[in-house]
Amino acid sequence: MTEMEFWTAGEIASGIRGGAVSSREVTARLLERIAADSTVNAVVETRAEFALEAAAAADEAVAAGREVGPLHGVPMTVKDSFNVTGLHTTWGNPAFAEYVADWDATVVERLAAAGAIIVGKSNVPMMLADFGQTFNEVYGRTNNPHDPSRTAGGSSGGGAAALAAGMTYLEYGSDLVGSIRLPASYCGVYGLRPTAGVAPMHGFQPPGPLAIPTEFPDLSSLGPLARSAADLRIALQVTGGPTVPYSPELPYSWKLLPPRHQRLSDYRVGVVLDHEQAPVTREVGAALSDAVDALSKNGVEIVEGWPAEVDPIGQAQALGFQLGLFFAVNGENPDFASLAEVLEQERRRIAARVAWQRYFADVDVFLCPTSFTTAFPHDERPFMERTIDGTPYDAQAFWISHASLTGLPALSMPVATSGLPVGVQVIGPWHADDTVITFAELADDVIGPVAG
């Protein structure tokens, strides 16, 4: 049986509710494992006393027969960039190294309300500005648990590595340019970028004045990383939904839409496994080809090729413009583009979303690589000087660009491989997050790696 450190969050929560394990035992063992680590450097700060007291209270609630939440007593981590009371929020920036938050991000509040115990923070690159690596001058470098000479990905690399190394049961991160999906792929875990705007951004900010709520489109999306697709669902259910920035009441409620299908063989699945803009390596190509073959043999209808109205290169380039606009809105280069250019690019962004939605009228999910490569050796040279076996470093952004541009839900799930982890990306229709999660959950039995 799998060691307790590698159980899913759902299994731990069930064990605590049923009395098979105690939250105190689980939390203490997790903290000991984090403290003993000298190789991965994934969890960079903990609050042990708080966590153990919260675990004891969780056990008392179970013993008293009180109603408990779906993550009751489960110890977990969040990305350094979320405010958590009593912990540093550094964004990997030495200028913020001494900042300690005195309030919780909305996502953190909602996880705690569901019973989770936030034991600490996971590492990030400087200002989250690297989708391929996790390194900063405050906490140093995070290594891949499968091979410490290789990257864990970025910018949620600390959280993905912590899951792979048995140092957390659940993680919450962020994804602008694949910052959830790429680390999940490189570390062999699950990572979900939800539909844009589903998880509230309040409290996900660098130290400074409180960020003012805005309706301006935000490419960044907050979402969970986990050891199973089912854990992604639990985490999104308890954290999703709007906040109330202007009034004390909402005129509506939020919930996950039901999945399109409950049986794997009912899914109609689009597939593209390679492209000249980011050609996959032999290992990635073989693993994904085997996965698609296995799905087909289990009754899944495979539809090969890009959607008819989708220009994959054009959409990847459009994301590049949107990233420049994102950084301009956040204080860099206010003369980045003219109003006419911005309006035209916004038209392209929405047209891309419409094109994908038309495609998803007849196809349930779309499969493609999460990255063209497996985890690669560390490379701390300046960004523009880096390559990956001769391929440009920013080619990592190609496969993840289409969901990032359109705000569609997308997750990375590990597939069976004899070498380093390989992730397949599952993209779904707007607000069909549970369709994406359910497909991954069902497909895991067919294409997922064998549990240890």
Catalytic residue among 22, 174, 179, 401: 179
| pLDDT given at position 246 | 66
Give the whole-angstrom CA distance, residue 188 versus residue 164.
7
| Alpha helices, DSSP H, located in 44-156 | 48-63, 106-113
How many domains does the chain contain in total?
Answer: 1
Give the whole-angstrom CA distance, residue 63 versus residue 308.
58
Residue 1 has pLDDT above 70, yes or no: no
**Do 375 and 146 meet the contact criterion of CB atoms below 8 Å apart?**
yes
**Do 55 and 27 meet the contact criterion of CB atoms below 8 Å apart?**
yes
Give the whole-angstrom CA distance, residue 395 versus residue 178.
12
Q: Is the peptide bond before 155 cis (omega within 30 degrees of 0)?
A: yes
Residue 166 has pLDDT above 70, yes or no: yes
Domain for residue 260, yes or no?
yes
Give phi and psi for 403, each to the nearest 5: -75, -35
Domain for residue 250, yes or no?
no
**Do 264 and 440 meet the contact criterion of CB atoms below 8 Å apart?**
no
Element at 231 (helix H, strand E) = helix 229-239
Strand 301-304 to 268-271 pairing:
parallel
| pLDDT given at position 214 | 66
Give the whole-angstrom CA distance, residue 278 versus residue 396.
7
Catalytic residue among 22, 23, 79, 156: 79
Domain for residue 249, yes or no?
no
Task: Determine the distance from the C-alpha atom of residue 143 to the mean position of all C-alpha atoms in its chain, rounded to a whole number.
Answer: 18
| pLDDT given at position 85 | 97
Beta-ladder partners of 141: 135
Domain for residue 314, yes or no?
yes
The vertex-325 CA angle with 321 and 330, nearest 5°, equals 150
Mean pLDDT in the chain?
95
Residue 215 has pLDDT above 70, yes or no: no
Specify whether 155 is catalytic.
yes
Residue 333 binned pLDDT confidence (cut-offs 50, 70, 90): confident
Catalytic residue among 22, 23, 155, 371: 155
More confident residue, 382 or 245: 382
What's 138's DSSP letter?
Answer: T
Domain for residue 123, yes or no?
yes
CA atoms within 13 A on the CB side of 35: 10
Specify whether 79 is catalytic.
yes
Torsion of CA 50, 53, 58, 63, to 10 degrees: 180
Q: What is the DSSP string of 128-193?
A: G--SS--EETTTEE-EETTEEEEE--SSSHHHHHHHHTTS-S-EEEEESSSTTHHHHHHHT-EEEE
Q: What is the mean pLDDT of residues 81-96?
A: 98
Domain for residue 338, yes or no?
yes
Tell me, what CATH number does 385's domain have? 3.90.1300.10
Residue 329 binned pLDDT confidence (cut-offs 50, 70, 90): confident
Residue 144 has pLDDT above 60, yes or no: yes
| pLDDT given at position 17 | 97
Residue 452 binned pLDDT confidence (cut-offs 50, 70, 90): low
pLDDT tens profile 351-380? 999 999 999 999 999 999 999 999 999 999
| pLDDT given at position 35 | 98
Determine the angle formed by the axes of helices 339-359 and 396-406, rounding to 10 degrees: 90
Specify whether 179 is catalytic.
yes
pLDDT tens profile 247-287? 667 777 889 999 999 999 999 999 999 999 999 999 999 99
Q: Which structural domain, as residue segments, surrounds residue 294?
A: 4-244+255-447
Q: What is the mean pLDDT of residues 82-87?
A: 98
Domain for residue 368, yes or no?
yes
Domain for residue 452, yes or no?
no
